[in-house]
Amino acid sequence: MAVRVGILGATGAVGQRFIQLLDDHPTFELAALTASEQSAGKRYDEAAKWRVNTPIPDDVAAMEVGSTDPADVPDDIDLLFSSLPSSVAAEVEPAFLEAGYVVSSNSSNDRMAPDVPLTIPEINPEHLDLIEVQRDQRGWDGALVKNPNCSTITMVPTLAALDQFGLERVDVTTLQAVSGAGYDGVTSMEIIDNAIPHIGGEDEKMETESRKLLGSFDGAEVALHGAEVNASCNRIPTLDGHLESVFADLADDASPEDVAAAMREYPGVDLPSAPEQLIHVFEDEFRPQPRLDRDRGDGMQISAGGIQATEHGVKYNCLAHNTIRGAAGASVLNGELLAQEGWI
């Protein structure tokens, strides 16, 4: 049976990716779009400055954009995807939850809240049961699920594969695409022929969100993973695809071949938007590269390569498409998990 879905913040960069990914989705039927008051009341193709690399689906182009207000969203929507600026999401998401909507949100507010599941379906699907705790504590009829920051989601599947060798410490340096900052985030004069060695708040997000994702859930709360995580985040002039260099200290001996096998064999999930294999491992040490590898698995696969031994463990590079696996695709996959697990 079709699941009726809506998008909060549908006109933005991530909102457009949602529309692209939901076109021809096997079970999700797009039935509501919202944005700011400037866009409300307009046809979608008048309100959105469409910039993704496929045309606006005809049925979506003609849809009317609503206000981001529960009173303006049909009651029969089963699931809302949220791609609002986090300051706006922090204000309006609670109103949708109080009104009984289930929200799969990409915005960063509340990701570390103890009663909010921060989920990657292949890594920690069991954390969804935090919804029961959330409903008890907040009195919401709805449910709020978050996906992580795009840099965090690029690295965490590889760390999950390494955890069988006793993950003790992670040091990561990122090379992040300009689309992560949004269309107006970095000017061409700032980024062409350049690299910017800081992204506000990003180091802390990688350092905390990764430990929640890899943490254990006892039915009441998530205990953060014990590994120390240090991140240094940088912007470079690629369009899409975050590339990251990871140094991981391990308690047990593990050769680069053991690590490659653990990554290749890390199990996927049976959900419509999931890649068949979660992590592709290259033998060629010049890969992964953003332009060549970000679209693997329709933008949902993680790539890794250049695995080498270090004194305390291994180092390697990893890559993911930041606006698909790192944003809209991550929320859609969480929505598919919510449906599979009977939360909607």
Ligand X SMILES: NC(=O)C1=CN([C@@H]2O[C@H](COP(=O)(O)OP(=O)(O)OC[C@H]3O[C@@H](n4cnc5c(N)ncnc54)[C@H](OP(=O)(O)O)[C@@H]3O)[C@@H](O)[C@H]2O)C=CC1
Ligand Y SMILES: N[C@@H](CC(=O)OP(=O)(O)O)C(=O)O
Q: CB of residue 222 vs ligand X: minimum separation in angstroms?
A: 21
CA distance 80 to 99: 12
Answer yes or no whether residue 153 interacts with ligand Y by CB under 6 A. no
CA distance 129 to 342: 11
Q: Report the first-to-last Cα separation within the chain, whole angstroms.
A: 12
Q: Which is nearer to ligand X, 281 or 302 (CB)?
A: 302
Q: List the interface residues with ligand Y, window 293-322 (CB under 6 A).
A: 322
- Could you say which of ligand X, ligand Y, none residue 199 binds, taking C-beta under 5 to 8 angstroms by partner kind? ligand Y
- Could you say which of ligand Y, ligand X, none residue 11 binds, taking C-beta under 5 to 8 angstroms by partner kind? ligand X
Cβ 269 vs Cβ 121: under 8 Å: yes
Answer yes or no whether residue 149 interacts with ligand Y by CB under 6 A. yes
- Could you say which of ligand Y, ligand X, none residue 144 binds, taking C-beta under 5 to 8 angstroms by partner kind? none
- Could you say which of ligand X, ligand Y, none residue 205 binds, taking C-beta under 5 to 8 angstroms by partner kind? ligand Y
Closest CA to 180 of 210, 208, 151: 151
Q: CB of residue 293 vs ligand X: minimum separation in angstroms?
A: 17
CA distance 309 to 225: 23
Q: Which is nearer to ligand X, 106 or 174 (CB)?
A: 106
CA distance 47 to 35: 9
Answer yes or no whether residue 210 interacts with ligand Y by CB under 6 A. no
- Please give the DSSP secondary-structure letter assigned to residue 296: G
From the list 57-65, 135-143, 198-206, 283-291, the region that binds ligand Y by CB under 6 A is 198-206
DSSP codes joined into one string, 82-100: E---HHHHHHHHHHHHHTT
Q: Which is nearer to ligand X, 259 or 300 (CB)?
A: 300
Q: Which is nearer to ligand Y, 328 or 338 (CB)?
A: 328
